[in-house]
Structure 1
Amino acid sequence: MKMFEELKAKNINFKNRIIMPPMASSKADENGHISKEILDYYEEKTSHGLFSLVIVEHNFIDSLGQASERQVSIADDTSIEGLKKLAKVIKGNGSLAVVQINHAGSSARKDLIGQSPVGPSEIKNPSQKQVELPRELTIDEIKDIEDKFADAALRVKEAGFDGVEIHSAHGYLLNQFLSPLTNKREDEYGGDIKGRIKIHLEIIKKVREKVGEDYPIFLRLGVGDGKEAGLSQKDAVYAAKAFEKRGVDVLDISGGMCLYFSDDDYPGFFDYLSKPIYDEVDIPVILTGGVKAGKDIEDILKRNVCDLVGVGRAVFKDSNWMEREINSLMEN
């Protein structure tokens, strides 16, 4: 079966094609540090040793970019020791370990961050029902955020993880820059797709400078916005190819501004978003969504829409799902 085949990429090798995607657990302590609760959670989810890769839930890079209570922080060096423990748990169970780093932008709540949220433009986040009107970021603030992403990536490496994932999906800050729904800037960080991905390209460049040439960089890309005036397929492909050229090693495809899930709840329901990118890039592509049975993983891979399949909600709900489903496939 294809799902059990190895995949060798430029900077990272996968023992099979099954990954655990990032899913917020809200189990960090009150300071955003790794707690015993979160260590136990990842131990339980990965103890079967069947995932080739585990992408740890989004860590906020700056206090202004915190998305929710008890989210994990990677905003300063005090986070590193706890993350080292988490890396040991996941890698000790036989999986590669990657941390997703993120800034919530206009998805952040004023009552949580203590001030009005920020965004590329003064436009309410259409992916959220109750949010403040964000303050438009200045150029200097954008460059500071770029630096904070790079600093966070270095902390991921120092904590012993096998790679870092930059989050640009699900209505968060980098997705807000990418989408024409929320980016109405008239300077170098707005306008056409070249301007709207400038912050991404600068972050990738700065992260690469911090972590070195051989350290794997993933990018989660929100490809569809769920609205007619949103990100076009043409622009999504352009962005994916530009990120590959700049040095991203793996693309993790998901929905964008207003498209976290699909009403068409079939296995791999975002395959129509991943297929055009899969056909145009030469780096591994991850697709997550709708997997309910072990055979769904194989079915998605056979469609030639991705290289790796994420199993998220099924494992979130049932820690024994992987072992049961994979063993069943092996028996048959």
Structure 2
Amino acid sequence: ASEIIKVIKKTMDMHVSVRINPWDVRKDGMTAEESLKVAKELEKAGADSIQLTARTISYLYDGNEKNPFLVYVDRLIDEIDIPVILGGSLRDMKSMNDVLNNTEVELMSMSKPFVAQADFLADWKANGEGVSICQSCNNCYSKKTSTCFKHF
């Protein structure tokens, strides 16, 4: 990835954002410490931002302690000097405002909520608060069609 970033930065005038998982929760898989090192190397190579995403967060979070993803993102923000974009299971305005008000996160990304409900942000604006109908079931991506199979 480092070499690809270097080529893109050398040949094109574009923002390079790299998506990484903080850990993969597999036997002998990448740990949070290793992913911090990866993020630092990506920054050195010229990445303009790092986007965090993880399908495996549910294995680590029981709802009783602070979400480990949020602990990791604050640590990453402290350790690198490029923007960090938080992704992963952002589906309701209350949780997103909580992240913005109680962490160092300034940027967030979403994809699946738009697949399930393309106009959900307009609905939130009109109603003042809201929850996407997306349940992060991943059916929309299992068939590679970006179609919500649960609600349509």
TM-score (norm 1): 0.34
Distance 1:234 1:269, change over 3 A: closer
Matched, 1:226 2:25: yes
Whichever of the two has the greater Rg, that structure is: 1
Q: Secondary structure at the match of 1:223?
A: coil
C-alpha contact 1:295 1:329 (8 A) present in aligned 2: no
Task: Output the amino acid matched with 1:206.
Answer: V
Residue by residue over 1:92-138, the C-alpha shift from the partner in whole angstroms, topping out at 9 and shown as x without a partner, is: xxxxxxxxxxxxxxxxxxxxxxxxxxxxxxxxxxxxxxxxxxxxxxx
1:312–1:270 distance in 2 versus 1, CA, 3 Å: farther
Q: How many Å apart are 1:261 and its aligned residue?
A: 5.2
Amino acid at match of 1:286: I
Aligned partner of 2:39 in structure 1 is 240
Match of 2:11 in 1: 210
Counterpart check, 1:273 vs 2:41: no
The DSSP-based 3-state class of the residue aligned with 2:108 is strand
Structure 1 residue matching 2:72: 3-state secondary structure: helix
Change (3 A) 1:237 1:283: same
- TM superposition shift of 1:241: 1.4
The alignment-based identity, stated in percent, is 23
How many residue pairs get aligned? The number is: 125
Number of the residue aligned with 1:324: 123
Q: Counterpart in 2 of 1:293? A: 92
- Please list, as runs of the form range in 1=range in 2, the aligned pairs for 1:21-60 lying within 5 A after superposition: none
2:58 to 262, 271, 276: 262
Aligned residues: CA RMSD: 2.5
Deviation at 1:265, TM superposition (A): 8.3
Within a 5 Å distance, the mapping from 1:47-196 to structure 2 comes to none
One-letter amino acid matched to 2:52: I
- CA shift for structure 1 position 208: 1.2
User: Conserved in 1, the CA contact under 8 Å of 2:86 and 2:108?
Assistant: yes
Distance change in 2, residues 1:282/1:329 (3 Å): farther
Change beyond 3 A, Cα 1:207–1:308? same
Q: Identify the match of residue 310 of structure 1 among 91, 109, 132.
A: 109
TM-superposed deviation, 1:317? 0.7
Q: Is the 8 A contact 1:224 1:273 kept in 2?
A: no
Superposed displacement of residue 249, structure 1: 0.7
Quote how far apart the aligned CAs of 1:305 are: 4.7
Q: SS of the counterpart of 2:50? A: strand
Partner SS state of residue 219, structure 1: strand
2:43 partner SS: helix
Secondary structure class of the residue paired with 2:53: strand
Contact 2:70 2:103 survives alignment (8 Å): no
CA distance in 1, matches of 2:127, 2:4: 43
Matched AA of 1:281: I
Q: C-alpha separation between the residues in 1 aligned to 2:87 and 2:62?
A: 12
Q: Residues 320 and 311 (structure 1 numbering): CA distance in 2 closer, same or farther, change over 3 Å? A: same
